[in-house]
Amino acid sequence: KAGVTQTPRYLIKTRGQQVTLSCSPISGHRSVSWYQQTPGQGLQFLFEYFSETQRNKGNFPGRFSGRQFSNSRSEMNVSTLELGDSALYLCASSLDQGLTEAFFGQGTRLTVV
């Protein structure tokens, strides 16, 4: 069974630009969560989507947004990029909202210059 697929794997953007990241969960999984991972802060929760609805949101500014489609695929958007947004962005999929076992994708490495 295919795992969680994130695209693209690597991105380089300029300050002020915007970026869209994509996550395709494991087939049948309806919950998708997004995390930002940096060396200093570790893994920080961004938001979770379930059945096309954002159910949870972490402490990130409004520049970070996302959505989920009817096929459970999810996108994350960051507008007005800042240097501090450089990080590994991971998405995790699980069967339900309970996150009984979350499976992570390989991540998108975003570098803002």
Partner 1 sequence: GQNIDQPTEMTATEGAIVQINCTYQTSGFNGLFWYQQHAGEAPTFLSYNVLDGLEEKGRFSSFLSRSKGYSYLLLKELQMKDSASYLCAVRVPYSGAGSYQLTFGKGTKLSVIP
**Interface contacts to partner 1, rule CB under 8 A:** 4, 33, 35, 41-45, 48, 55-56, 58, 90, 92, 97-107
> Closest CB to partner 1 among 19 and 50?
50
Nearest approach in angstroms of CB 15 to partner 1 is 25
What is the smallest separation between the CB atom of 80 and partner 1, expressed in angstroms?
Answer: 25
Q: Are strands 31-38 and 87-94 parallel, antiparallel or unpaired?
A: antiparallel
Q: What is the dihedral of CA 93, 97, 101, 106, to 10 degrees?
A: 20
From the number of C-beta atoms within 10 Å of its C-beta (0-12, 13-18, 19+), residue 73 rates as: middle
Nearest to 97 by CA among 52, 49, 58: 49
Cβ closer to partner 1: 19 or 92? 92
User: By C-beta, is 9 or 15 nearer to partner 1?
Assistant: 9
